[in-house]
Amino acid sequence: TTASLQPLREQGNALFQAGDHAAALAAYTQALSLCDGESERAVLHRNRAACYLKLEDYAKAEADASKAIEADGRDMKALFRRSQALQKLGRLDQAVSDLQRCVSLEPRNKAFQEALRGTMSCTDSKVDQMFQILLDPEEKDADKKQKAAQNLIVLAREEAGAEKIFQSDGVRLLTRLLDTAKADMMLAALRTLVGLCSGHRSRTMAILAELGAPRLSAVLGVEHEQVSLAACNLLQVMFDSLKEGMQKDFRGKEDAVDLKLLIKHLLELLALEGASAHGRDNALNLLIKVVPRKSPKETNNSLSLWVIDQGLKKILEVGSTVCGAQDSLPVTENSRMSASVLLSKLYSDLKCDAERENFHHLCEDYVKSWFEGHELAGKLRAIQTVSCLLQGPSEAGNRVLELEGIMDGVLSLCASVCEAHQLVAVEALIHAADKAKRASFITANGVSLLKEIYKHSERDSIRIRALVGLCKLGSAGGTDFSMKQFAEGSTMKLAKQCRKWLCNETIDAGTRRWAVEGLAYLTFDADVKEEFVEDKAAMQAMFHLAKSEDRSVLYAVASTLVNCTNSYDHEEPDPQMLELAKYAKQHIPEQHPKDKPDFVKRRVQKLLAAGVVSALACMVKSENPALTNSCRELISRVFLALVEEAEDRGGVVAQGGGKALIPLSLEGTEVGQTKAAQALAKITITSNPEMAFPGERIYEVVRPLVSLLHLQRTGLENFEGLMALTNLAGISERLRQKILKEKAVPMIEGYMFEEHELIRLAATECMCNMAMSKEVQELFLAEGSDRLKLMVLYSGEEDEKLRRAASGTLAMLTALHPPICKRIPQVVSAWQRGG
């Protein structure tokens, strides 16, 4: 083919010189169809980009130039052509970034410098123009305004553009846009400000001084949901920039002042009656992300102490809100849950008993202030506070439960005739039942009470909650499901009732959520699992709830799915591991016959058919405090069970499973991250990775896969990680560079010495693909290294696959890196001499 390629390419060049760009394009396209060498293809793509520029098809010019740049990020001709295409497409910021790269590669090249200056000055006049269009009250053309806003946002993402806006009096103009109180103008201003503040401390401080914390906090509290969220993103970026300054800089004092000023306004917003419900949620989410230490390595917890001192009461104001009561703060169904998560994080950020005692006293004072000297409404708020604390820092919850009169108040209100009051009390009782410290007292008093309520209440909303209380108290014995002591009709009957409630759309979602809580306990029983997966309506009702606004249901949904797929930790090792590690037979606990693998497989099929993947993907997408690390771990466990069978993996990817697994593998508990990484490995092994993880996503998969190579991972995880990386390493140089950058090569080499032949083979095959990279070829020539010797040794092994992988590596090395040819005979002869 190379013979027929050359004339086609030359023909294309001649036609291009002669000005026949369409014919030149056809010649290059034909050459591409014959060509499979990566560098050859890159040149043809670069030539096609030149044709498309002449033919004024700028989108295709950009696409072809990008393909050339993927093969070689230092290809200046391709970069320059892409910048021309981008400029014509109006994507100035990206054009500037390509030109800056050209200039840094060839600083003396006049053409590059001119082009960069041209694009930048074109930007200068653009900035003023954009503000004029946006701030002109006479301008009625909505499209024109939309485009100006978009350009401004895009420009602010590039350092040069951001600085330009900042220097053009941009902050004052953006403040004017914010003050128009028109949603689209406010969004444009907030998103542009995000670009100006990202990673730039001095600009952030100047912007904060100009806008003022009160204005920012007021924008966060507006009714318009998107505007409030955009303000939340801006504040998050500002916090990050200021915090970075505090860590790096001896001038950290002034940053700390700014940081505290912002936080003080967020705390005030929590208790402000005029603030919107989602504004309150956004403020809580920001505090969760910003205040507590990120890791125990940071020793300074003064920010948490300051927030507890200044704002604990304000956080409890949200946590104690009784929905629907007179004068209650506007909250969403997530607000109280977010308050619990924030309280929990603040409490676990404390370092000594004195700090914890102070926290307890503040909580106790708050609860007492409502419980004593107020009428019934005050008692309800006190009990709601107890619930909020039990769901968050439960030690603090247990302490307030012990205050005089509280538990009696809960029990007497459980019998209230008013539904709203009864709800508050029953929920408090259930949360108390969860925390076993009080459970003996509650088991004595609560069980009979809950049974009474369950049997005799007229209201489904109350009966569901009573049922969940019974389930929780019953399952205090762990998985060995000892519901018998309460059941007036066994687990199955209770589960059936839960499924009925779950499917009943006339009941409000907040109440149906409790039906899922019940199933999370009841599905420990295999008979309940089987009936649940047969009930498609119930599964879909649960998935529907999982996608709804109310995020507090996430944990219960995830627990139910872990139970149905048996993806919790088993006592006995799993059969594949038996093969890999030749475990000694251990005592295997008795298993319910319907928990045997065939049953589990069938349950997985039914869940897939009912749409479990899109529900899980939606659960992961929610940037929500309810998506705790333990919740993420449960979701990862379920995903791993769903991709167990190779033929199901395509469907899981098609419904968004591949995309959802990436964040799960990068953040969470160690177990959760590993399970998600293993699921990614299974997908990468059996499907075409470029289809499963399109575009940039494929590069994000590398780090999770490399994490499977760590020594503390199981043999099976090492093996699957190696197989998946082999697949990626065969795709492109850019992927190989990413694998190198994640420091995988020494680990891959380590596994080439592994006892287990499958792991040894997988590592050698992976090395074979990695050897297409120049850096890896150099390693084989390194002085005093035995790498080459090992490959020569393996190419004479009796295991045929290992022989093939090793000889393939040698063939690749000698073809791509001729100096290696000289070394092989030396290695062989030294080794025959016994060296």
Whether 4 has a pLDDT exceeding 90, the answer reads no
Give 624-661 pLDDT, tens digit per residue: 777 888 889 999 999 999 999 989 998 999 988 999 99
List the single range of 101-110, 117-126, 298-307, 723-732 with lowest mean pLDDT. 117-126
How is 373-428 classified by DSSP, letter by letter? Answer: SS-HHHHHHHHHHHHHHHHSSHHHHHHHHTSTTHHHHHHHHHT-SSHHHHHHHHHH
Residues 6+ apart with CB under 8 A from 760: 751, 752, 753, 754, 802
Whether 311 has a pLDDT exceeding 80, the answer reads yes
Whether 432 has a pLDDT exceeding 80, the answer reads no
The rounded percent of the chain whose pLDDT value lies above 70 is: 89
Distance of CA 620 to the CA centre of its chain: 7
Tell me the mean pLDDT in the region 438-448: 62
Give 347-394 pLDDT, tens digit per residue: 989 989 999 999 999 999 999 998 887 788 888 889 899 989 988 888
Whether 230 has a pLDDT exceeding 60, the answer reads yes
What pLDDT, on the 0 to 100 scale, is given for residue 353?
92
Confidence of residue 262 (pLDDT cuts 50, 70, 90): confident
Tell me the mean pLDDT in the region 39-54: 93
Whether 769 has a pLDDT exceeding 60, the answer reads yes
List the single range of 54-68, 258-272, 567-581 with lowest mean pLDDT. 567-581
Residue with the larger pLDDT of the pair 783 and 381: 381
Task: Give the separation between CA 769 and CA 235, rounded to whole angstroms.
Answer: 45
Give 87-105 pLDDT, tens digit per residue: 888 777 678 888 888 988 8
Nearest Cα neighbor of 219 from 193, 244, 240, 198 is 193
Tell me the mean pLDDT in the region 249-275: 77
Give 173-210 pLDDT, tens digit per residue: 888 888 888 888 888 889 889 988 888 888 888 888 88
Q: Average pLDDT, whole number, for the chain? A: 83
Nearest Cα neighbor of 46 from 34, 31, 623 is 31
Tell me the mean pLDDT in the region 665-678: 92
Judged by DSSP in three states, 290 sits in helix
What pLDDT, on the 0 to 100 scale, is given for residue 591?
59
What pLDDT, on the 0 to 100 scale, is given for residue 363?
94
List the single range of 300-309, 504-513, 639-648 with lowest mean pLDDT. 504-513
What pLDDT, on the 0 to 100 scale, is given for residue 690?
86
Q: What is the pTM of this model?
A: 0.68
Tell me the mean pLDDT in the region 58-74: 92
Q: Burial code of 418-451, b = ≥16 C-beta within 10 A, e = fewer?
A: eeebbbbbbbbbbbbbbbeebbeebbebbbebbb
What pLDDT, on the 0 to 100 scale, is given for residue 481?
36
Whether 550 has a pLDDT exceeding 90, the answer reads no
Whether 682 has a pLDDT exceeding 60, the answer reads yes
Task: Give the separation between CA 665 and CA 680, rounded to whole angstroms.
Answer: 8
What pLDDT, on the 0 to 100 scale, is given for residue 399?
87
Asked if residue 212 lies in contact with residue 194, where contact means CB atoms within 8 angstroms, the answer is: no
